[in-house]
Chains A and B, each alone.
Chain A
Amino acid sequence: MSLSVKLKKGLDIRLKGQSEKILNPEAESIRYGVKPVDFPGLTPKLNVRVGDKVMAGSPLFHDKLKPEVLFASPVSGSVVSISRGDRRKLLEVVVEKAGDEYIDFGKADPAVISREEIIEKLLKSGLWPVVRQRPYHVVARHTDTPKAIFVSAFDSAPLAPDYNFIFDNSSESHFRTGLKALKRLTSGSLHVVVNGKSEPSGILKDTPAEIEKFSGPHPSGNVGIQIHHIDPVNKGESVWYVNPQDVIAIGRLFEEGKYRHDRIIALTGSEVIKPQYYRIRSGASIQSLIKENITAGNLRYISGNVLTGSGITADGYLGFYDSQVTIIPEGDYFEFFGWMMPGTDKFSFYKAFASKIFPRKEYILDTNFHGGERAFVMTGQYEKVVPMDIYPMQLLKAILAEDIDMMENLGIYEVAEEDFALCEYICPSKIEIQSIIRKGLDLMAREMN
């Protein structure tokens, strides 16, 4: 059964710097970084030391609590640095590329081999972490059987890449093989959710998946919102999900026997001179992408989108799950009577600025906080950007109070921090909502296991 869901709640932030549909050949990068901080809830344990030689697919570190879950090197070469932060927290493992060698994990047809063999292959190759789960929005627990698997085949975030363009430039057969493998992992359905507003790419025809259509403002492309409307997670259940480009990587693993976590990313943002698409490998440094392609000034480099991405340095590395790099200006300036000005250049969710009367097509937004942190004061605003049957403020307060029963009752199993990113953006009290949600998810994960 194919669903067609139209969402009304949400917000499209009209930023400047959408990528032109031009695909550049693979950008060469010398260094590649794998960041344990991309995987919330992970306690990493290193498998390598500085100076070790690795191949693409060699494990760099693994999950201390689930040692079968490996995190692989995206390229062959040698480990050049392992950096740690406060309390020796592992921040990144950097590999300098040399040659192009892959560990051979062996080809296989996911329709023929058993479910256990499929999972084992994904675990061994280090590709398993592309499979994530609700509850908790973490790497999926491979011993579970999910009641459904979701692939959100479009992204509604600000300046997000157009997945139809990415599909048109990707291997159809890899994508299908990937879906075939995923279909074997669940006892229920495999759902691929496409944008109801555009004609789906040819790559989506003849798949073992059920195609559902979603439309509406952001966060309609968030997989969590889609799960909530199609097959919501109840206590004790789990649903898995995979990014579309990672489905392709899974397909490639089965067809070629290689760990090649490649992707097409959109380089976006108001400070990029020529925003376009690039072929790139997961973990690549963004240095070569932005060379001579950004404006001067103090800039924020984001792996991912402006709402949920992680801030990196100008020579930082693309995040494990990201298909987008965004570059916007920093907002470290004082604004004289800024809160009193009419604000024709200020994009806002609220109708308290002149930009509501004289709207522009697109806006340049920076990283300024635009105010100080306060207690919750305004009500009824978060609800307008969370298209779920969930009370955002009540859930946040339950998390702050560490009231486990209440969190459960209010739907903590169904949410991830990304679903609340817009609440954080529009919050007049400047509360760090995504951090609170993550704190709640971590707390629940600890309590339930």
Chain B
Amino acid sequence: MDSLRKKIDKIKPNFMEGGRFAKLRSVFEGFESFLFVSDKVTFRGSHIRDSIDLKRTMTVVIIALLPAFLFGAYNIGLQHFRSIGTDPGLVQMFLFGFLKMLPLVIVSYGVGLGIEFIAAQIRGHEINEGFLVSGLLIPLVMPVDVPLWMLALATAFAVILGKEIFGGTGMNIFNPALLARAFLFFSYPAWMSGDKVWIEGLVKGENIIDGFSGATPLAMLAQGEASEMPSFMDMFIGTIPGSIGETSTLAILIGAVILIATGIGSWKIIISTFAGGLAMGLLLNVFAANDFMELPAYYHMVLGGFAFGAVFMATDPVSGAQTETGKWIYGFLIGILSILIRVLNPAYPEGVMLAILLMNVFAPLIDYYVVRSSIKRRLKRAETAFKNQVK
């Protein structure tokens, strides 16, 4: 490592102010701090600092995403080979899916990080780590057959209009990954819904076995074909069509355990989102006007992107509620709205994305009222003290 360090020290002056590549300073620092934690020391305030930093934090989230990522790769293969009626075995399926996913991940990171690098350089800031997670989340909420140019466009939209114009990581109002999905959902609805995009090769339609349907369980429900739905267990394990990372509730729950155990993700948001979803599901059961409303409430937990949204999207600390009481309310409302939109709005069989984006907007308002109660307590205390003084 010493020789690498020496090499970096040797080229470093070129990137500093006055150097030949001073314009690439942020990029250089980004790579340098990726390889080596800086030698910067404290100079005022606390003399010691916790070893945690945003890189470490983001790494934990990425580790938590891995089960969903790996299962997603396997499921791409599984769905594809089912559609053409062959079974080449688990390893083949995984490799097939992995190779399908790789370009998506590369495009997402390439476009997103590229924009982040440029934005950091323009501002003269260090490069932020926020996109490390967003860059993996974006492909995971896409259908596998999404064209790469579309993905690139959506990523650019999310990073520039969703994040950088607000001031970069930590300043954004909306969750960037969901914004990317929402962008495609409204701009290219044919590629984000329907029965074909969820399974690799179905759009082209070559070698597909007769009568094969690539509809997601949610679509079946919306179309009143509840009887054709896969079993609860299949949907829990995730061997169903859907966006790449969202199908396996099991893999997502493993991620949830990692997030909660490390304290990086808010358990309050995760739990309250599931609670809100269950509550709404039960309420709909009471009325039970159609198949969808009759669906047992716990089925909603494993359907569509609900679990993925609750664990990885709602818990985004920047766009979510920031007070602890606020997190309960925020999560609960996401759960309620997700199921409400899902069941009662026939146009969008998936409600989680819109519910979270909507609650992103309301999160500051929730926080405002929570903080307000503390302010009121303080004012009341001051008033009592003043009255006692007058007496």
- Chain A residues with CB under 8 Å of chain B are 13, 232, 234-237, 300, 302, 306-309, 311, 326, 328, 330-340, 343, 346-353, 365-380, 383, 389-391, 393-394, 409-411, 417, 421, 424-430, 432-435
| Interface contact B46-A307, CB-CB below 8 Å | yes
In this assembly, does B91 line the interface, its C-beta being within 8 Å of a C-beta of chain A?
no
Collect the chain A residues with CB atoms within 8 Å of residue B377's CB: 389
| Interface contact B38-A372, CB-CB below 8 Å | yes
| Interface contact B37-A339, CB-CB below 8 Å | yes
| Interface contact B170-A374, CB-CB below 8 Å | yes
| Interface contact A421-B36, CB-CB below 8 Å | no
Contact of B51 among A309, A343, A380, A394 (CB under 8 A): A343
Contact of B49 among A337, A370, A383, A390 (CB under 8 A): A370
Contacts A334-B5, A380-B324, A383-B324 known; A348 to B51 CB distance under 8 Å? Answer: yes
CA gap between A429 and B49 in the complex, in Å: 11
Contacts A307-B47, A351-B262, A379-B322 known; A338 to B36 CB distance under 8 Å? Answer: yes
Collect the chain A residues with CB atoms within 8 Å of residue B286's CB: none
Give A300 Cβ to nearest chain B Cβ, in Å. Answer: 6
Give B155 Cβ to nearest chain A Cβ, in Å. Answer: 20
Collect the chain B residues with CB atoms within 8 Å of residue A235's CB: 382
CA gap between A366 and B49 in the complex, in Å: 8
Q: Is the interface of A mostly helix, strand, loop or mixed?
A: loop
In this assembly, does B290 line the interface, its C-beta being within 8 Å of a C-beta of chain A?
no
Give B144 Cβ to nearest chain A Cβ, in Å. Answer: 30
- Chain B residues with CB under 8 Å of chain A are 1, 4-5, 29, 33, 35-57, 59-60, 126, 128-130, 167-171, 261-264, 266, 317-318, 320, 322-324, 327, 367, 371, 374-375, 377-379, 381-382, 385-386
| Interface contact A232-B47, CB-CB below 8 Å | no
| Interface contact A339-B48, CB-CB below 8 Å | no
Contacts A234-B382, A334-B39 known; A426 to B50 CB distance under 8 Å? Answer: yes
- Chain B: CB-nearest residue to A343: B51
- Chain A: CB-nearest residue to B327: A380
Collect the chain A residues with CB atoms within 8 Å of residue B382's CB: 234-236
Give B370 Cβ to nearest chain A Cβ, in Å. Answer: 8
CA gap between A336 and B6 in the complex, in Å: 12
| Interface contact B381-A234, CB-CB below 8 Å | yes
- Chain B: CB-nearest residue to A310: B44
| Interface contact B262-A352, CB-CB below 8 Å | yes
Contacts A352-B52, A367-B47, A434-B45 known; A336 to B1 CB distance under 8 Å? Answer: yes
CA gap between A234 and B266 in the complex, in Å: 33
CA gap between A304 and B110 in the complex, in Å: 48
Give A24 Cβ to nearest chain B Cβ, in Å. Answer: 25
Contact of B318 among A350, A377, A428 (CB under 8 A): A377
Give B168 Cβ to nearest chain A Cβ, in Å. Answer: 7
Contacts A348-B52, A372-B126 known; A330 to B41 CB distance under 8 Å? Answer: yes
Q: List 6 A-B contacts (CB under 8 A).
A: A334-B36, A334-B37, A351-B262, A352-B264, A370-B51, A432-B45
Contacts A371-B54, A377-B317, A426-B52 known; A432 to B44 CB distance under 8 Å? Answer: yes
Contact of A332 among B41, B45, B53 (CB under 8 A): B41
Give B204 Cβ to nearest chain A Cβ, in Å. Answer: 41
- Chain A: CB-nearest residue to B129: A374
Collect the chain A residues with CB atoms within 8 Å of residue B324's CB: 380, 383
| Interface contact A375-B167, CB-CB below 8 Å | yes
Give B327 Cβ to nearest chain A Cβ, in Å. Answer: 7
- Chain B: CB-nearest residue to A438: B45
Collect the chain B residues with CB atoms within 8 Å of residue A411's CB: 378
Q: A236-B386, A352-B263, A394-B367 are in contact. List 8 more A-B contacts (CB 8 A).
A: A336-B1, A343-B51, A368-B39, A370-B53, A378-B317, A380-B317, A409-B378, A421-B45
CA gap between A222 and B7 in the complex, in Å: 47
CA gap between A340 and B371 in the complex, in Å: 36
| Interface contact A389-B49, CB-CB below 8 Å | no
Collect the chain A residues with CB atoms within 8 Å of residue B49's CB: 368-371, 424-425, 427, 430
| Interface contact B41-A365, CB-CB below 8 Å | no
| Interface contact B35-A377, CB-CB below 8 Å | no
Contacts A371-B37, A379-B322 known; A328 to B262 CB distance under 8 Å? Answer: no
| Interface contact B54-A234, CB-CB below 8 Å | no
Collect the chain A residues with CB atoms within 8 Å of residue B42's CB: 331, 367-369
| Interface contact A237-B46, CB-CB below 8 Å | no
Collect the chain B residues with CB atoms within 8 Å of residue A236's CB: 382, 386
- Chain A: CB-nearest residue to B29: A372
| Interface contact B317-A379, CB-CB below 8 Å | yes
Q: Which of B40, B128, B266 has the most chain A CB atoms inside 10 A of its CB?
A: B40
Contact of B47 among A311, A334, A337, A426 (CB under 8 A): A311
Give A434 Cβ to nearest chain B Cβ, in Å. Answer: 4
| Interface contact A302-B47, CB-CB below 8 Å | yes
Collect the chain B residues with CB atoms within 8 Å of residue A371's CB: 33, 37-38, 49, 52-56
CA gap between A311 and B41 in the complex, in Å: 12
Task: Rank and list the top 5 A-B pairs by shortest CB-CB distance, nearest first.
Answer: A371-B53, A375-B170, A338-B37, A234-B382, A334-B36
| Interface contact A409-B379, CB-CB below 8 Å | yes
CA gap between A258 and B341 in the complex, in Å: 78
Contact of A374 among B40, B50, B54 (CB under 8 A): B54
Give A119 Cβ to nearest chain B Cβ, in Å. Answer: 22
CA gap between A419 and B320 in the complex, in Å: 27
| Interface contact A429-B54, CB-CB below 8 Å | yes
| Interface contact A350-B50, CB-CB below 8 Å | yes
Collect the chain B residues with CB atoms within 8 Å of residue A309's CB: 47
Collect the chain A residues with CB atoms within 8 Å of residue B317's CB: 377-380
CA gap between A371 and B52 in the complex, in Å: 8
- Chain A: CB-nearest residue to B36: A334
Contact of B44 among A425, A429, A435 (CB under 8 A): A435
Contact of A391 among B36, B371, B379 (CB under 8 A): B371
| Interface contact A389-B170, CB-CB below 8 Å | no
- Chain A: CB-nearest residue to B322: A379
Contact of A336 among B36, B40, B168 (CB under 8 A): B36
| Interface contact A370-B37, CB-CB below 8 Å | yes
Contact of A350 among B29, B40, B263 (CB under 8 A): B263
Collect the chain A residues with CB atoms within 8 Å of residue B171's CB: 375
Collect the chain B residues with CB atoms within 8 Å of residue A434's CB: 44-46
| Interface contact A332-B39, CB-CB below 8 Å | yes
Contacts A372-B53, A374-B170, A425-B49 known; A410 to B37 CB distance under 8 Å? Answer: no
CA gap between A332 and B263 in the complex, in Å: 29
CA gap between A339 and B33 in the complex, in Å: 9
Give A403 Cβ to nearest chain B Cβ, in Å. Answer: 13
Give A288 Cβ to nearest chain B Cβ, in Å. Answer: 23
Collect the chain B residues with CB atoms within 8 Å of residue A428's CB: 50, 52-54, 56-57
| Interface contact A306-B46, CB-CB below 8 Å | yes
- Chain B: CB-nearest residue to A426: B50
Collect the chain A residues with CB atoms within 8 Å of residue B263's CB: 350-352
Collect the chain A residues with CB atoms within 8 Å of residue B386's CB: 234, 236
Collect the chain B residues with CB atoms within 8 Å of residue A343's CB: 51
- Chain B: CB-nearest residue to A378: B317
| Interface contact A377-B48, CB-CB below 8 Å | no
Q: Which of B37, B46, B169 has the most chain A CB atoms inside 10 A of its CB?
A: B46
| Interface contact A346-B130, CB-CB below 8 Å | no
Give B134 Cβ to nearest chain A Cβ, in Å. Answer: 12
| Interface contact B126-A373, CB-CB below 8 Å | yes
CA gap between A426 and B47 in the complex, in Å: 12
Collect the chain A residues with CB atoms within 8 Å of residue B4's CB: 336
Give A217 Cβ to nearest chain B Cβ, in Å. Answer: 15
| Interface contact A390-B47, CB-CB below 8 Å | no
